[in-house]
A and B are shown apart, each in its own frame.
Chain A
Amino acid sequence: MKHEPAGNGVTMDHEQDARAKHRNKAVLDASTRTTHELRASDSPRDERYRSDDPDVDVLWRALCEVADPELPVSLVDLGLIRAMRRDGDAVHVDVTFTASACPCMEFIILDIRERLMQEDGVGSVTVLDVWDPPWHNDDMTAHARALLKSFGVAA
């Protein structure tokens, strides 16, 4: 299997570090930031980033509408979303980052949570950062490459 299962219980404190969250509340508030508007229908499906389970596939489609904070490309097309699971109304997302010191980690995690919470039947979203295998250019979809090229970024 390409991606090792997550869930070893070791992750950064995305949920628990209430103090850091509070501290950064103003800068992290998504509504105060400009993000690129994306439509899932504009993003061709990549076999790697979909699910045979329609209840999970709808989540992949939803994240096709969440843009990277720095680029007009969705998190799915960038290959940052490694896996998604549904357990009742709880959704678990494995996400990776292009760099270990990605300055946008918290933005990305908040954006994922905010978008998935809009889906029917989703009561909670847990985001786990995973690093194995490390993100690679090949993880991007052809659609992402074309967008980045038009944006003037070598991919």
Chain B
Amino acid sequence: MSTALREAAKAGELTAEQREAVRDLILVLADSKRLLGMRYGNWMLGAPELEAGIACASMAQDEWGHARLLYALLKDFGEDVDALEHGRTAAEYRSIEALDAEPGSWPELVAVNAFVDLALTLQFEALAESNYLPLRQRVQKVIEEERFHAAHGAAWLRRIAASGDEGHEAMKTAIAAITPIVLRWFGPDSNRANAIHDASLIDAVGSDMRSRYVERAAALLRDIGGAGAFGDLEPDFSTFDEATRRTPGTSPDERTITQIRGDRNREFLMD
């Protein structure tokens, strides 16, 4: 391992390689948080109970808050934050592929809550001691707020599993679709990943993240009697773009991105 970098108060203090990798990671996380907020938000009025709908509203608000904290950081990397937030097409989004489509049922949303939100939180935990100070200073707040999301996801997971009806099957099918995407999303142990790991900008490379995820997700799966839903622990990265953490040519649905951009709201701007 090379010598650890000293603390960086600004992105300009990182090497070009580190800067690009950290910037890409922040954008991937920000876009994923934004999409996840939309997915939660759409269930504010469709959840099976009033309390669950309110929880979705609250989680959506948190996710958008986290996205805002992250987008704001990208100014330090010379980005036009307003253009990033409001000027991109669906094809330019870097959100995790497991959020590309709207969950079609409540059990599918619960699968997202428990298994996609977990992946994002684990990635934040790996940044809790980052040498890039502005990021580290924001991570703890995110992790604290995520505890409630994890508790909500786990509680509903068990509840749906205990019901034993078709909702349980729908949830298991959704989990089986999510986990391989997440395991690949953590990325290969590449030179790029090692460059930021060696500089203590992050405390894990892809394989570490996969181990952590499997450990935490397995505990959830045990609770619902559905072990063995993981895909290959050595994912196929042949179509994987490390910068976007996606397969090129894929994207979230355009309708959702139009809503996120706020195209229709712009008609009401008081310019």
Which positions in A face B, CB cutoff 8 Å?
4, 8-13, 17, 19, 22-23, 25-26, 99-103, 130-134
Contact = CB atoms under 8 A, between A and B. Distances in A.
A64 B82 CA distance: 34
A131 B65 contact: no
Nearest to A9: B10
Contacts of B75: 10, 13
Contact of B69 (A9, A22, A100, A133): A100
A13 B138 CA distance: 16
Given A23-B269, A101-B62, A102-B65, 15 more contacts: A4-B137, A8-B9, A8-B133, A9-B10, A10-B75, A10-B76, A17-B82, A25-B270, A26-B270, A101-B61, A131-B69, A131-B137, A132-B137, A132-B138, A132-B140
A136 B270 CA distance: 37
A92 B150 CA distance: 37
A55 B9 CA distance: 29
Contacts of B142: 100
B261 interface: no
B181 interface: no
Contacts of B133: 8
Interface residues of B, number: 28
The 6 closest A-B pairs by CB, nearest first: A101-B65, A100-B65, A132-B137, A10-B134, A134-B141, A8-B9
A134 B73 CA distance: 17
Contacts of A132: 136-138, 140-141
9 contacts: A4-B137, A9-B9, A11-B72, A19-B82, A26-B270, A132-B137, A132-B138, A133-B140, A134-B141
A8 B10 contact: yes
Contacts of B61: 99, 101, 103
Contacts of B73: 10
B125 to A, nearest CB: 14
B262 to A, nearest CB: 11
B270 A23 contact: yes
Nearest to B66: A100
A19 B9 contact: no
A12 B76 CA distance: 11
A13 B66 contact: no
B115 interface: no
A13 B72 contact: yes
Contacts of B82: 17, 19
B149 to A, nearest CB: 12
B177 interface: no
Nearest to A26: B270
Contact of A99 (B62, B81, B269): B62
